[in-house]
Amino acid sequence: DTAVSQTPKYLVTQMGNDKSIKCEQNLGHDTMYWYKQDSKKFLKIMFSYNNKELIINETVPNRFSPKSPDKAHLNLHINSLELGDSAVYFCASSQPPGAPYFGPGTRLTVT
């Protein structure tokens, strides 16, 4: 009965590859997010979707493309991975004005 789940938990890949991270929430929330946590533990919002519609796109390179097939899912596809993409990516969901509920994170390592 996990509220927000992400797969995979760990992802190790080489530069130039394309990869996807999946996120699902069973809380019935309307809004979903992707956040990036870098090596200094800074947490930065990347995208926000409300009912499958993109609301926020925070100057993220267009190599990152979120996709929301329905309001319970928000996947993140990354093209042409670069070393600087190595980070922990957190999915979250909320029912505004409620606080976001975070998933367990996906640790991406690009070599």
Partner 1 sequence: AQRVTQPEKLLSVFKGAPVELKCNYSYSGSPELFWYVQYSRQRLQLLLRHISRESIKGFTADLNKGETSFHLKKPFAQEEDSAMYYCALSGGDDKIIFGKGTRLHILP
Residues of this chain that interact with partner 1 (CB under 8 A) are 31, 33, 35, 40-45, 48, 50, 55-56, 90, 92, 94, 96-97, 99-105
C-beta of 14 vs 41, nearer to partner 1: 41
Least Å distance, CB 52 to partner 1, is: 13
Q: CB nearer to partner 1: give 16 or 98.
A: 98
- Closer Cβ to partner 1, 6 or 75, answer by number: 6
Smallest gap from Cβ 1 to partner 1, in A, equals: 15
Buried residues in 64-99 as b, exposed as e (16+ CB within 10 A): bebebeebbbbbbebeebeeebbbbbbbbbbeeeee
Q: How far is the CB of 42 from partner 1 (least distance, A)?
A: 5
Q: Which is nearer to partner 1, 81 or 89 (CB)?
A: 89
CA distances from 47 to 1, 13, 14, 92, 104 (A): 25, 23, 24, 10, 17
Burial class, 18, CB count within 10 angstroms (exposed 0-12 / middle 13-18 / buried 19+) = exposed
